[in-house]
Amino acid sequence: MEEQSERVIVNCLPLDEAERARFVEAAGGMRQEFVGDIAQRGDMGWRACVPEPLKARATAVIGNIAPEDCARYPRLEWLQTWSAGVDQYLADGVLGANVRLSNATGAYGQTVAEHMFAMMWSLMKNLPAYTRNQSARRWHDEGRALSPDGATVVVVGTGDIGSRFAGLAKAVGMRTIGVRRDPSRTAEHIDRMVGFDDLDTVLPQADVVAMSVPSTPQTHHLLDAHRLEMLKPTAIVLNAGRGDAIDPDALFDALCSSRLRGAGLDVTEPEPLPADSPLWNEPRCLITPHVAGGNHLAATEERIIAIALQNVRRYAAGEPLRNQVRRIA
C-alpha cells in the first residue's frame, strides 16, 4: 500500500519510450506516472488529462492542468507548466500556499522570433498584397519594397523572444534598440538599451517596432494613438506578446490613413479577434491566430521536455528548480 508520504510525479508530457526512460532515470527512484499521449506531438498545444485517482496522490505535476481543477490535488507541492505564461495559476486561490510553480520560459523564443521575422519581411516585400493578387489571378506590381539592411528595430521586451528576434535582425544588417524595465541589464544582440521611460525618444527612429511584452497594467495599450503618431509612415509594427499592448482602434486608424506601412499581429485585443473587427479587412495588416508560440516546431517541444527533465532531476534531489516563478515561504 502506498505510503502517504511517498512523492508521486504525474507526467503529462507526450513522450516516446526513450524520453520516458530519461525521465525515470532523472527521478532517481521517485514514483512517476506517465499519462501523456505521444499522438499530441506537433499539435498547436498539448492537453493534460490526469486520471481522477492520481489527482489525490500527485505531489508534482508536469503539464498545464485546468486551473479550476488545482484544488483537486491536495498533496500538490510542485507544478511544472509546458507554457511560458502562467498568469492563470498565479491568480488568488488557484494554487495552495505551499505549491511551487515553474514554467517553460526559454522554450518558445526561437519559434516566436522566427514568426515575427517572417511577418516583418513579408510586409517589407509586399507579400500579403501579392498573395491576394494571386488569389484574384491579378498580375500587378505593388510598388516600392523595403529592406532590413540598415534599418532600425526597436525591440520592446528583451527577454528570450526579443533577444532572439534581435539576433535575426542583426544577421540581416539591422540596428537594434532594446526597451526593458531595467535598462542597466543587457540582453543579447541589443546594440543600445533604454528603459520604458525613454520609449518616446526611440520610437521616431524605428523602422520596425517588435513587441513581446506580457500583459500588465504598465503595458496595457503601450502603443496607443499618441505613440503610433510618433512612428515613420514607412514603419512596421509587430506584436507577438500580448494583444492588449496595442490599442486596436488606434492601430486601425493609423493603418487605414497610411500613417504606417503595416502591422503583423499574432496576438490581438480581444482574442480571438471578432469577425467584425475592421483589422481583418485592412490590407496593411497581417494577422495570424496566436500560433507563433505553439508547439508546431519540433525544437520547441524538445526544449519544453528538456526544461521539465532538468527540473524532475532537481525536484528528486531537493535542489532549486529552473524557471521557478512562485516560491514557497
Residues 172 and 200 in one domain: yes
DSSP string, 172-199: TT-EEEEE-S-TTS--TT-SEEE-GGGH
Does 236 map to a domain?
yes
Cα 60-310-302 angle, rounded to 5 deg = 105
Residues 161 and 247 in one domain: yes
Query: What one-letter code names the amino acid at 261?
Result: R
User: In this structure, what DSSP letter does residue 246 have?
Assistant: B
Neighbouring C-alpha atoms within 13 Å toward the C-beta of 67: 11
Residues 212 and 126 in one domain: yes
Residues 6+ apart with CB under 8 A from 275: none
First CA to last CA across the chain, in angstroms? 32
Does 179 map to a domain?
yes
| Mean predicted lDDT score pLDDT of the chain | 96
Cα–Cα distance measured from residue 51 to residue 259, given in angstroms and rounded to the nearest whole number: 54
User: How many other β-carbons are positioned within 10 Å of the β-carbon of residue 159?
Assistant: 17
Mean pLDDT on 24-36: 97
pLDDT tens-digit map of 71-108: 999 999 999 999 998 999 999 999 999 999 999 999 99
| Model-wide pTM > 0.95 | no
pLDDT at 329: 59
Does 148 map to a domain?
yes
Question: In the predicted model, is pLDDT for residue 116 greater than 60?
Answer: yes
Residues 257 and 181 in one domain: yes
Does 255 map to a domain?
yes
User: How many other β-carbons are positioned within 10 Å of the β-carbon of residue 97?
Assistant: 6
At 70, which CATH number?
Answer: 3.40.50.720
Looking at 52-194, list the stretches that DSSP marks H as alpha helix, in order from N- to C-terminal side: 52-57, 87-90, 109-124, 127-135, 160-171
pLDDT at 326: 83
Cα–Cα distance measured from residue 157 to residue 97, given in angstroms and rounded to the nearest whole number: 30
pLDDT at 328: 72
Beta strands in 202-316 (DSSP E): 208-211, 236-239, 262-265, 285-287
Question: In the predicted model, is pLDDT for residue 34 greater than 60?
Answer: yes
Parent domain of 51: 8-83+297-317
Bond prior to 183 in cis (omega within 30° of 0): no
Does 24 map to a domain?
yes
Alpha-carbon separation of residue 177 from 113, 156, 203, 225, 304 (angstroms): 16, 8, 10, 21, 29
Question: In the predicted model, is pLDDT for residue 241 greater than 90?
Answer: yes
pLDDT at 72: 97
Is 92 exposed, middle or buried, given 0-12, 13-18 or 19+ CB atoms closer than 10 A? exposed
Beta strands in 44-104 (DSSP E): 60-62, 78-80, 100-102
Quick one: which H or E segment has residue 32? strand 31-34
Size of the chain, expressed as the number of residues it contains: 329
pLDDT at 1: 39
Residues 274 and 306 in one domain: no
Residues 278 and 309 in one domain: no
User: In this structure, what DSSP letter does residue 159 have?
Assistant: S
Does 39 map to a domain?
yes
How many domains is the chain built from? 2
Does 99 map to a domain?
no
Residues 45 and 177 in one domain: no
Residues 196 and 64 in one domain: no
Instruction: Record the cell numbers describing residue 27, joined without a space.
Output: 527521478
Cα–Cα distance measured from residue 244 to residue 246, given in angstroms and rounded to the nearest whole number: 5
pLDDT tens-digit map of 155-202: 999 999 999 999 999 999 999 999 999 999 999 999 999 999 999 999
Residues 48 and 115 in one domain: no
Point out the residues that are catalytic: 242, 271, 290
Instruction: Record the cell numbers describing residue 39, joined without a space.
Output: 499522438
Cα 245-81-188 angle, rounded to 5 deg = 55
Residues 276 and 132 in one domain: yes
Residues 75 and 185 in one domain: no
DSSP string, 197-233: GGHHHHGGG-SEEEE-----TTTTTSB-HHHHHHS-T
Does 325 map to a domain?
no
CB 236 within 8 A of CB 260: yes
Cα 215-110-266 angle, rounded to 5 deg = 45
At residue 2 the predicted structure's pLDDT band, cuts being 50, 70 and 90, is: very low
pLDDT tens-digit map of 204-233: 999 999 999 999 999 999 999 999 999 999
Cα–Cα distance measured from residue 232 to residue 36, given in angstroms and rounded to the nearest whole number: 49
Residues 144 and 251 in one domain: yes
